[in-house]
Chains A and B, each alone.
Chain A
Amino acid sequence: MHYIEVENLAFHYKEEPVLENISFVVGPKDFVMLTGENGAAKTTLLRNILGLLKPSKGRVQLSKKNQYGEKLVVGYVSQQIASFNAGFPSTVLELVQSGRYQRGKWFKRLDQADKEHVRRSLESVGMWDMRHKKIGELSGGQKQRISIARVFATDPDLFILDEPTTGMDVHSREEFYQLLRHNCLEHGKGILMVTHDHEEIRHYANKHIELVRKEGSPWRCFSMDSCKELSKLPS
């Protein structure tokens, strides 16, 4: 089964083509990295997949169910997270706990297991000690970490991550990739991640999609080079 199916997708801003001939799938246990130069419409592609934008042509299908036949839960970390609403009146703990709401807790209290999940998520990004801080008082890198903690707290079936490691040091990035790989291999999660660190991630991902500028087009239009299978390191 596939969580994401993209078939011949094209996206135009007004008349101008931005993306063309995009086709790939992401399923459980897939760790797909999406790369491309600056302005290669990587975020636009993610927004098409999430339904925030409508494709001009082609088909995007986001599965309704996960591999166990339950409702598919998607965790999304956007690129602009560092600039998120600084005045929002929330503590780090409140925000990360809100990641659990998607796990059937919109109208129920969070139980002990949920709280334990939140604690582990915050610890995994080294932010447990800062849980009572107001989110507006955090630095850009810390905001990035709690948005990652929030998505881990959600425990989604499918991670869609848009340059999630911006502002993180090498050691933190490595820990983050290992966590993602663990989620992918041990828990069957699907991952689609936009990144510039493709050399770093190629040891963790199993597929690589590169968006390249379409030759001969008068527009700044990008299409897929290919969807390469990568050799994976043993888990």
Chain B
Amino acid sequence: MEMFLYGFMQRAFQASILISLIAPILGLFLILRRQSLMADTLSHISLAGVALGLLMGVNPTWTNILVVAVIAILLEFLRQMYRTYSEISVAILMSAGMALALVLMGLNDGGATLSMTQFLFGSIVTISEQQIWMLIALTAIIGVLYFIFRKPMYILTFDEETAFTAGLPIKMMSILFNVLTGVTIAIIMPIVGALLVSAIIILPAAISLRLSKSFMGVIFLGMVIALAGMLSGLVASYELGTPPGASITLILMIIFAAATLLKFLWRQVRLGRLKRT
């Protein structure tokens, strides 16, 4: 319990709860839009955003948000351009982001290496009050937008052509969704690390997708799974001295394996019952 006495741990728990509320919403839409890897691309790009901020001597969070938002828009245009092979856009921009980050770090003459390591692997010690306020604002924005636009987004993710014929502005919605995902990644990346931020966004939704039948059910169950994974991962990280992003991801992977196994066993039991009747 002593961990709760530390201010940085209190902030880490606050951040975890907030991330748990938004990750399954974004994660589910990313999975259903076949954009799971987009989160990974944007996290690589966000490294370039951080490197740019450190090079310019300004707060890297702001440069990060700006760079990621611009690239998120570009991603949508590339996705439209390569409609049949939309993963090409992910491959192109992931490499470009990493290359740009490395070049910018090189230009910084190695001065930012320590900070970059924090951004790569995440750090719960460095969570600031400002980051918590940003996360609160982000959670509020995503929550309100989800509540207002959940029906149009449901149709958009079900089938873009159906959404188009229903008169929805699908291009604008896609761009806004990408930008929102980008900004989220830019804000939570310093906490969980660029290398694993996409796992934390995708995994809770991926797990609950296997367990719940309904759309709303997937999101709410995803929040519960994210909360369980984030909070227990954080405790493990504190107790074992391991990186928070990696600890959380591993616990989510264990939940994923357990859920898959339980579902398989449940199906076998049901099949057995059906055979007997």
Q: By the criterion CB–CB under 8 Å, are A101 and B213 in contact?
A: no
Residues in A neighbouring B157, C-beta threshold 8 A: 88
Which one of B155, B159, B209 lies within 8 Å of A89 (CB-CB)?
B209
- Interfacial chain B residues near A85, Cβ < 8 Å: 32, 158-159
Given A50-B165, A52-B164, A134-B213: A90 and B148 within 8 A (CB)? no
- A106–B152 touching, CB < 8 Å: yes
B275 contacts A by Cβ under 8 Å: no
Task: Evaluate contact between A89 and B212: CB separation under 8 angstroms.
Answer: yes
Query: Restricting to A48-70, which residues have a CB under 8 Å from any CB of B?
Result: 50-52
Size class of the contact patch on chain B: 20 to 34
Q: For the complex, is B6 an interface residue (Cβ under 8 Å from A)?
A: no
Inter-chain contacts of B155 with A (CB < 8 A): 98, 101
Q: Chain A nearest CB: distance from B204 CB in Å?
A: 13
A107 with B151: in contact, given A87-B209, A89-B213, A90-B214 (CB under 8 Å)?
yes
Q: How large is the interface on A (under 10, 10 to 19, 20 to 34, 35 or more residues)?
A: 20 to 34
> Which of B32, B165, B213 is in CB contact (< 8 Å) with A74?
B165
**CB of A138 within 8 Å of the partner chain:** no
**Are the C-beta atoms of A88 and B165 separated by less than 8 Å?**
no
Q: Say yes or no: is A105 at the interface (Cβ < 8 Å to chain B).
A: yes
Q: Given the complex of chains A and B, what is the CA–CA distance between A78 and B161 in angstroms? A: 9
Decide yes or no whether B162 CB sits under 8 A from chain A. yes
By the criterion CB–CB under 8 Å, are A89 and B218 in contact? yes
Interface residue A102 (Cβ < 8 Å from any Cβ of B) = yes
A105 to B161, CA, bound (A): 19
Verify if B154 is at the interface (C-beta below 8 Å from A). Answer: yes
Shortest Cβ distance from residue A197 to the other chain B in the assembled complex, whole angstroms = 24
0 or 1 for each of B160-174: is its CB under 8 Å from A? (1 = yes): 011011110000000
Q: Inside 8 A of A107's CB, which chain B residues have their CB?
A: 148, 151
Docked complex Cα distance between A102 and B217 (Å): 23
Q: What residues on B are CB-neighbors of A160 within 8 Å?
A: 165
Q: Is the CB of B161 within 8 A of A52?
A: yes
Query: In the complex, are the beta carbons of B151 and A50 less than 8 A apart?
Result: no
Is B215 in contact with chain A by the CB < 8 A criterion? Answer: yes
* Chain B residues numbered 205-235 whose CB sits less than 8 Å from any CB in chain A: 209, 212-215, 217-218
Whether A174 is near chain B, meaning CB under 8 Å from some CB there, is no
Contact of B213 among A76, A91, A105 (CB under 8 A): A91
Known contacts A94-B214, A95-B158, A98-B158; can you find 19 more A-B pairs with CB under 8 A? A50-B161, A50-B165, A52-B164, A76-B162, A78-B162, A84-B159, A85-B158, A87-B209, A88-B32, A88-B158, A89-B32, A89-B218, A91-B213, A94-B154, A98-B155, A101-B152, A102-B166, A106-B151, A134-B213
Q: List 8 A-B contacts (CB under 8 A).
A: A50-B164, A78-B162, A84-B158, A88-B32, A89-B217, A89-B218, A94-B214, A94-B215
- Across the A-B interface, give the 3 residue pairs with the lowest CB-CB distance, nearest first: A76-B165, A89-B218, A134-B213
